[in-house]
């Protein structure tokens, strides 16, 4: 028999693909040691077992816990600086002397009093708790004192009233402190034991509910007896410390004693000796020192005197007078400082930083010499060789006029039509103008009847009519800016091409190019600029963390010899003003352009105009300057805001010394009565002179005759030359149409315009013009002391328009 042979239509089954289901072992055997490209390029990472992962996590937790405990043990110990506590009463009914007396527990430890002016400072040494505290106090009405003391305090102790918690002065003080940045704080209630026993529980419940708005998760402590004061001290000693970023990377010092040695040449300037404990970072004598409120200075040397407040006095040589009282004054501290003096470090002139804050510009730099004859001939030859553009122009056009004619432009209508249309348009224009003048609407006025008051005469004496008129004018300008943003009237006495000669038109504000180095003012020759500010900041911060700096360590009691200090610094210190010094990082004494993101404070409603002088609290600095306000966007150009708006965050740009962020920013405005009013709060964004702030001007015109997509526009310009000058600039309307100027009509500024759609008769034609603006150089490091808030509380709480 013949064997069966399959035909051409036999079914063909697919082969089994076993490779996809292979295990990892068989795949490695088949690969014969070859590895994939991704496996070779990746960093070999050792995979830990589950037990090792748990062990590593527990080690990291242990390290962090030990670091926190070490920081807590160092603060207030014998090797660290004293635990500085700022006591702030938030209500006028709180008795500050009584609270300070309770904290001065003689049974707990030794008390050293130091009274200067109106402030009460004392040192509490407690060997039993192995802790030492330095208590200072400040009234919430003294705004500068509270803010400056909060910059260096380790803990703020807020004293609350049992019934109301805080009054309006305390609430204003809390707003400023929250904006600047709060260190560790504690809440204590004074006077709750004076209430009846039945009302004490209700008072604590109501107070806890009221405090939740500001302090949502904080416990209230009592401060009425000596036992409660002891519990409060233990709470302060065991509290976890909160860090302020702007002071953790710098060395700072609170002055316990000050001495002044006048110079031989001038008695108004001399060497200031500041004694205190080093905090934050190691203090280097070659760095510059900033005294808050007075400016930057150089240090001559650092001495290491004996610590006047040791925790364990046994290890110190006995005093000449063993029966000396515990109470010592600042002069005694200075005398004790002279004994056992040891020079720790002297300044090296070669390594010491300079006080130069500005660049001295060279007026001849960038000047160009007169070109030679060879250069002139080469330029002529180059112009001849350049290609010539052929254009279609009307008859009788000169070569100069032909340069201004755009290529590819379409002509609409003939010459006869133009003249005929021009005459017709001129007659209609005269009729329309006379109708507009006759039908001009008058402003509407509202009458209001008010009741007579007995104290009207007394009230009017306190009102400053000139200040009221200025404020009314500001309110009007702010309201006009909200209704018609950036719109200005074209002047009739000056040609628009002269009035707006520094402005330019942009096809797109977002995408059109603008050179940041173009047409810079003379003040830009005085400032410093970083090639890469972010990298410089990172390298300086990395050097602080990794590199060991020689100098006075944290916790040492030292005396700084600061040169060329005015005698007014010592006079203010002797009157009770605290003296605080910060060590500057490299480049922080140099002037540049600072950009700060600020937001309007909701408690202030007065209009704040750009370039108006304000008071800045930026990190550890305090100065006066006139800022520019601009939009906070991610683009390369930022539109100028003429007023500080209340609904959005803006960027304030000023000339000021360089400060490395992070740093908090507070803006104050000084009123006519001397009080400082909080305007805005925010943070320092960058130090960048290349950030462009662009001012926009909007010229408006009205459509006179409309022919579908063509229209005759008037009142934007008032002569023919201005229309020709601004012809290349694009037009827009409030209803979204875009167009351009075709040609001028007549000699009164009327112009024919074409748009991308039909124009409505009630629409408004707009032209946007732009120019770059720069801040005014009004930097002043001296800020006068404000009038205490309590004295002017009545005048500040009344609105500008009167009581409602």
Q: What is the dihedral of CA 205, 211, 215, 220, to 10 degrees?
A: -50
Q: Are 666 and 778 in contact (CB under 8 A)?
A: no
Average pLDDT of span 390-414: 59
Average pLDDT of span 749-756: 91
425 pLDDT above the threshold of 60: no
Q: Which residues pair with 732 in a beta bridge?
A: 738, 766
Strands 692-707 and 765-773: antiparallel
CATH 3.40.367.20 fits 487-508+695-771, yes or no: no
Who's near 621: CB < 8 A, 6+ residues apart? 290, 292, 656, 657, 659, 781
pLDDT band, very low/low/confident/very high, at 412 (cuts 50, 70, 90): very low
Three-state SS string over 285-299 comes to: CCCCEEECCCEEECE
Q: What is the dihedral of CA 570, 572, 577, 582, to 10 degrees?
A: -50
Average pLDDT of span 450-474: 60
Position with higher pLDDT, 258 vs 38: 258
Position with higher pLDDT, 202 vs 775: 775
Residue 574, classed as helix, strand or coil, is helix
Residue 600, classed as helix, strand or coil, is strand
Task: Enter the tokens of residue 101.
Answer: 């007396």
What's the confidence (pLDDT) of residue 444? 42
Mean pLDDT of the chain: 79
Who's near 497: CB < 8 A, 6+ residues apart? 721, 722, 725, 726
452 pLDDT above the threshold of 70: no
Three-state SS string over 422-461 comes to: HHHHHHHHHHHHHHHHHCCCCCCCCCCCCCCCCCHHHHHH
674 pLDDT above the threshold of 80: no
Residue written as token pair 């330019």: 504
Who's near 492: CB < 8 A, 6+ residues apart? 718
Position with higher pLDDT, 98 vs 6: 98
Note the CATH architecture for domain 73-242: 3-Layer(aba) Sandwich (3.40)
Who's near 542: CB < 8 A, 6+ residues apart? none
For the question of whether the overall pTM of this predicted structure is more than 0.75, the answer is no
The mean-pLDDT minimum among 6-15, 199-208, 370-379, 436-445 falls in 436-445
804 pLDDT above the threshold of 70: no
What's the confidence (pLDDT) of residue 11? 78
Residue 383 burial class via C-beta count within 10 angstroms: exposed 0-12, middle 13-18, buried 19 and up: exposed
pLDDT band, very low/low/confident/very high, at 2 (cuts 50, 70, 90): low
312 pLDDT above the threshold of 50: yes
Task: Enter the tokens of residue 799.
Answer: 């609105």
Average pLDDT of span 134-160: 89
Domain boundaries defined on the chain = 73-242, 487-508+695-771
364 pLDDT above the threshold of 90: no
Distance CA 686, CA 638 (A): 15
Kindly state the helix (H) or strand (E) to which residue 771 belongs, with its residue range: strand 765-773
Above pLDDT 70, what percent of the chain? 78
Short-list 422, 497, 430, CA closest to 743? 422
Q: Are 643 and 607 in contact (CB under 8 A)?
A: yes
Position with higher pLDDT, 370 vs 757: 757
pLDDT band, very low/low/confident/very high, at 332 (cuts 50, 70, 90): very low
What's the confidence (pLDDT) of residue 370? 67
């Amino acid at each position: 028999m013949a064997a069966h042979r399959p035909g051409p239509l036999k079914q063909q089954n697919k082969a089994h693909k076993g490779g996809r289901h292979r295990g990892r072992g068989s795949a490695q055997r088949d690969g014969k040691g070859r590895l994939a490209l991704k496996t070779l390029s990746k960093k070999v990472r050792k995979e830990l077992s589950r037990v090792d992962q748990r062990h590593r996590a527990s080690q990291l937790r242990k390290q962090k816990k030990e670091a926190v405990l070490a920081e807590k043990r160092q603060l207030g110990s014998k090797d660290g600086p004293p635990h500085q506590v700022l006591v702030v009463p938030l209500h006028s009914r709180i008795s500050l002397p009584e609270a300070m007396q309770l904290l001065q527990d003689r049974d707990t430890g030794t008390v050293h009093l130091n009274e200067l002016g109106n402030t009460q400072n004392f040192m509490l040494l407690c060997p039993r708790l192995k802790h030492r505290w330095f208590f200072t106090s400040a009234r919430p009405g003294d705004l500068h004192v509270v803010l400056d003391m909060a910059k260096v305090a380790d803990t703020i102790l807020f004293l609350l009233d049992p019934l109301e918690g805080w009054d309006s002065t305390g609430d204003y003080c809390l707003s400023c402190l929250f904006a600047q940045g709060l260190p560790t704080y504690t809440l204590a209630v004074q006077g709750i034991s004076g209430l009846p026993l039945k009302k004490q529980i209700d008072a604590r419940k109501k107070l806890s509910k009221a405090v939740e708005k500001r302090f949502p998760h904080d416990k209230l402590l009592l401060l009425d007896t000596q036992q409660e004061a002891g519990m409060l001290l233990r709470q302060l000693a065991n509290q976890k410390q909160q860090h302020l970023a702007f002071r953790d990377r710098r060395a700072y010092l609170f002055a316990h004693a000050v001495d002044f040695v006048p110079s031989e040449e001038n008695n108004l300037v001399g060497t200031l000796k500041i004694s205190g404990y080093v905090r934050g970072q190691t203090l280097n004598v070659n760095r510059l020192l900033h005294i808050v409120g007075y400016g930057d200075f150089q240090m001559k040397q650092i001495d290491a005197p004996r610590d006047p407040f040791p925790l364990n006095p046994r290890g110190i040589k006995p005093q000449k007078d063993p029966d000396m009282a515990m109470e010592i004054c600042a002069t005694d501290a200075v005398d004790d400082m002279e004994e056992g003096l040891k020079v720790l470090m002297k300044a090296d002139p070669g390594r010491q930083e300079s006080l130069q804050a500005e660049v001295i510009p060279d007026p001849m730099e960038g000047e160009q010499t007169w070109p030679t004859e060879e250069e002139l001939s080469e330029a002529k030859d180059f112009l001849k060789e350049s290609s010539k553009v052929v254009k279609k122009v009307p008859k009788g056009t000169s070569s100069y006029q032909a340069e201004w004619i755009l290529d590819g432009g379409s002509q609409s209508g003939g010459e006869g039509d133009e003249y005929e249309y021009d005459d017709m348009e001129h007659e209609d224009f005269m009729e329309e103008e006379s109708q507009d003048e006759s039908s001009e609407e008058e402003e509407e006025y509202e009458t209001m009847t008010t009741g007579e008051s007995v104290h009207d005469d007394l009230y009017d004496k306190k009102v400053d009519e000139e200040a009221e008129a200025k404020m009314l004018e500001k309110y009007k300008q702010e309201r006009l800016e909200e209704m018609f943003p950036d719109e200005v009237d074209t002047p009739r006495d000056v040609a628009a091409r002269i009035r707006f000669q520094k402005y330019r038109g942009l096809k797109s504000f977002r995408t059109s190019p603008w050179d940041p180095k173009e047409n810079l003012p003379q003040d830009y020759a005085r400032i410093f600029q970083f090639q890469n500010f972010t990298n410089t900041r990172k390298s300086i911060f990395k050097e602080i963390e990794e590199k060991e700096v020689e100098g006075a360590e944290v916790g040492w009691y030292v005396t700084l010899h600061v040169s060329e200090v005015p005698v007014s610094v010592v006079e203010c210190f002797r009157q009770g003003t605290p003296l605080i010094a910060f060590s500057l990082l490299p480049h922080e004494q140099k002037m540049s352009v600072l950009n700060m993101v600020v937001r309007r404070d909701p408690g202030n409603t007065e209009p704040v105009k750009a370039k108006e002088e304000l008071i800045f609290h930026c990190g550890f600095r305090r100065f006066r300057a006139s800022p520019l306000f601009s939009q906070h966007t991610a683009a390369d150009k930022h539109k100028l805001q003429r007023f500080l708006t209340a609904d959005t965050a803006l960027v304030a740009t000023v000339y000021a010394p360089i400060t490395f962020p992070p740093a908090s920013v507070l803006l104050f405005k000084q009123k006519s009565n001397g009080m400082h009013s909080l305007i805005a709060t925010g943070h320092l964004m960058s130090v960048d002179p290349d950030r462009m702030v662009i001012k926009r001007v909007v010229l408006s015109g009205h459509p006179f005759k409309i022919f579908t997509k063509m229209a005759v526009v008037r009142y934007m310009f008032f002569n023919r030359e201005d229309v020709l000058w601004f012809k290349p600039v694009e037009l827009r309307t409030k209803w979204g149409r875009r167009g351009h100027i075709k040609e001028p009509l007549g000699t009164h500024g009327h112009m024919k315009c074409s748009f991308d759609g039909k124009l409505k008769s009630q629409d408004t034609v707009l032209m946007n013009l732009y120019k770059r603006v720069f801040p005014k150089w009004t930097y002043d490091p001296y800020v006068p002391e404000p009038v205490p808030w309590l004295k002017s509380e009545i005048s500040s709480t009344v609105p500008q328009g009167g009581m409602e």
